[in-house]
Structure 1
Amino acid sequence: MNILFLKVTLIPVVIALITLVARKWGNKMGGLIGSMPWTAGPILLFFILEQGKSFGILSVQGIMTGILALIAFCYCYSFVSQKVSWLPTLLLSYGVYAATALLIKHLDLNLWASYLLVISSVLLALRFFPVPTVLSTQARRLPYDIPIRMVVATLFVLLITGLASVLGPNWSGILTPFPITTSILAIFSHMLQGSNATINTLRGLVIGLLGFTTFLFLQAFLLREFSIALSFGIAFVANSFINVVASRIW
């Protein structure tokens, strides 16, 4: 199958499904489902298909750095969204994402240290995550909002995978968890339902990062021994199990 065709069909479908889940089961569940590797998993797959399995394995270290930056993005957006509108909140959160990524990359941690730091950061973020002041109001909807979300997400994926050969595995990995789906969920919930809905969405997403991180971390080991399909399948089961347990705890 043509890889470009896969990129422009798989990602839009994923974004549409996540949006529909959030509408049916609420913002927290939408965030939790959105944290699954629907975008990062395909990006890693495209790295492997276009650059080789070794490139994909080497990118996992950068992915851990990117996830730490994603946690910082979620916390910043949730906190700042209580004060200002979506655009300055988004720009500031992107700045925090970039600063965190640069700082962690400078520390040059190994894979195991990075993984443990991510898990600890998720737990710390949940401990101090902003609390919604009121229940979310009934959602407003923009005309054609699902197609808009689908197009934006697809363009992000095309950009990141297109630059992979130039950036190399480490920086490509850092950009893999870039808040593509997260930004879309945050912006639309912020615009249409307000800060409280955004906080619920991003808190659900941060909860899901426990499984998301494990899925991507396992690829550094599974891809050395198994096929892509089996590696992704085993890690996806682990991801789903962790998400179920985490959602019951938090």
Structure 2
Amino acid sequence: MSLFFAKLAVSILVVLGLSMLAERAGPRVAGVLSGYPLGTAILLFFIAIEQGVHFAGESAVYALPGLIATLAFLYAYYLISKWLLRHAVLVQVAGASLGAFATFVFVSWLGQMVRFTLLSASLSLVAAMIVAIVLFRAIENVSISQRVKITHKIVAMRAATAAMIVVAISGAAAIIGPRWSGLFSGFPVTLYPMMLILHWSYGVAPVHTVIRNFPRGMGALLIYIVSVSFTYPRFGIGEGTLLAFAAATIYLVCYSSVVWWRSRETAQAGQ
């Protein structure tokens, strides 16, 4: 029971933090930081505690093609929500979510049929990230000009959405096995609830901005998952998680520094 409440607490805090960041720092920043291994880390951590380190290590390999399914999920959400632009927000959210879920399951089904190694899974994800960046580059970056008032009802909705997804996937790990557990650990546990919140509160444009920038931060996820496959068996769950987070953080800091430097160079060139 204490583990159940730990899942709830961690997932709730992460989603609330990300959605508030999107409202204050902008969906572009939130999109990049959504590539930080929050949801995947939560799921792999609890899978390791409940099913063991070796189970989690095998799941980690399949978390990489699971992230390919996440990119397909995002592209489907983008296309369908764009197609439903003239409809009510509820229709947009429902239609885009159903289509995106179906796409994720289909791509995951294809993924579990392939016998991936850590190297082949990593290379496949890198290729998918490059394709996604090309596909998403036409999306315009927008900011949120007027934030909605945060009520207890909104907070409860955000918290419940994230908690249900984390509990469902981690709880089903023993039944569905390490391959499917790994694939589903790639599901955008923290990103998807934030997308729903932004879509419902501000319309589709900020969601598309998040989608555009998500693949650019996915290197942190790739590094985290690869690190976990090595650190969990050697150092255990606690130290392994910290070491993997350290590696992912170094990547994200370096990436952010490069982006900042390029933006500064562009601004100076335009003066």
TM-score higher than 0.5? yes
Deviation (angstroms), 1:14: 1.2
The answer for the alignment partner of 2:61 in structure 1 is: 61
Q: Does 1:189 align with 2:219?
A: no
Deviation (angstroms), 1:25: 0.4
Aligned equivalents of 2:138, 2:194: Cα separation in 1: 18
Q: 1:175 aligns with which of 184, 203, 212?
A: 184
Q: 1:194 to 1:132 in 2, by over 3 A?
A: farther
Q: 2:230 aligns with which of 221, 224, 228?
A: 221
Q: Quick check: 183-192 or 65-74, which moved more?
A: 183-192
Q: 1:66 to 1:245 in 2, by over 3 A?
A: same
The answer for the alignment partner of 1:14 in structure 2 is: 14
Aligned equivalents of 1:131, 1:193: Cα separation in 2: 20
Aligned equivalents of 2:27, 2:252: Cα separation in 1: 16
Deviation (angstroms), 1:136: 4.2
Q: Are the counterparts in 2 of residues 72 and 97 from structure 1 also a CA contact under 8 Å?
A: yes
Q: 1:131 aligns with which of 134, 138, 141?
A: 138
The answer for the alignment partner of 1:41 in structure 2 is: 41
Q: Are the counterparts in 1 of residues 53 and 232 from structure 2 also a CA contact under 8 Å?
A: yes
The answer for the alignment partner of 1:235 in structure 2 is: 244
Identity %: 22
Deviation (angstroms), 1:224: 2.0
Aligned equivalents of 1:4, 1:175: Cα separation in 2: 18
Deviation (angstroms), 1:53: 1.0
Q: 1:133 to 1:209 in 2, by over 3 A?
A: closer
Deviation (angstroms), 1:137: 5.1
Q: Quick check: 174-183 or 164-173, which moved more?
A: 174-183
Q: Does 1:89 align with 2:96?
A: yes
Q: Are the counterparts in 1 of residues 65 and 111 from structure 2 also a CA contact under 8 Å?
A: yes
The answer for the alignment partner of 1:113 in structure 2 is: 120
Aligned equivalents of 1:173, 1:123: Cα separation in 2: 22
Aligned equivalents of 1:140, 1:99: Cα separation in 2: 36
Q: Are the counterparts in 2 of residues 138 and 193 from structure 1 also a CA contact under 8 Å?
A: no
Q: Quick check: 47-56 or 180-189, which moved more?
A: 180-189
What amino acid does structure 1 have at the position aligned with 2:119? W
Q: Quick check: 201-210 or 239-248, which moved more?
A: 239-248
Deviation (angstroms), 1:195: 2.5
Q: Quick check: 200-209 or 131-140, which moved more?
A: 131-140
Aligned equivalents of 2:29, 2:225: Cα separation in 1: 21
The answer for the alignment partner of 1:156 in structure 2 is: 165
Deviation (angstroms), 1:27: 0.4
Q: Deviations over 1:197-240 (max 9, x none)?
A: 11111222222211112101211111122132222222212212
TM-score, with length taken from structure 1: 0.91
Deviation (angstroms), 1:133: 4.9
The answer for the alignment partner of 1:207 in structure 2 is: 216
Aligned equivalents of 2:160, 2:48: Cα separation in 1: 23
Q: Deviations over 1:101-155 (max 9, x none)?
A: 1122223232210111101211221122153457445345374222211111111
What SS class does the counterpart of residue 83 from structure 2 fall into? coil
The answer for the alignment partner of 2:23 in structure 1 is: 23
Q: Quick check: 239-248 or 196-205, which moved more?
A: 239-248
Q: Are the counterparts in 1 of residues 16 and 155 from structure 2 also a CA contact under 8 Å?
A: yes
Aligned residue pairs, count: 250
Deviation (angstroms), 1:178: 1.4
Q: Quick check: 6-15 or 104-113, which moved more?
A: 104-113
Q: Quick check: 240-249 or 165-174, which moved more?
A: 240-249
Q: Are the counterparts in 1 of residues 140 and 209 from structure 2 also a CA contact under 8 Å?
A: no
What amino acid does structure 2 have at the position aligned with 1:177? G
For the pair shown, the structure with the greater C-alpha radius of gyration is: 2
What SS class does the counterpart of residue 82 from structure 1 fall into? helix
Q: Are the counterparts in 2 of residues 31 and 185 from structure 1 also a CA contact under 8 Å?
A: no
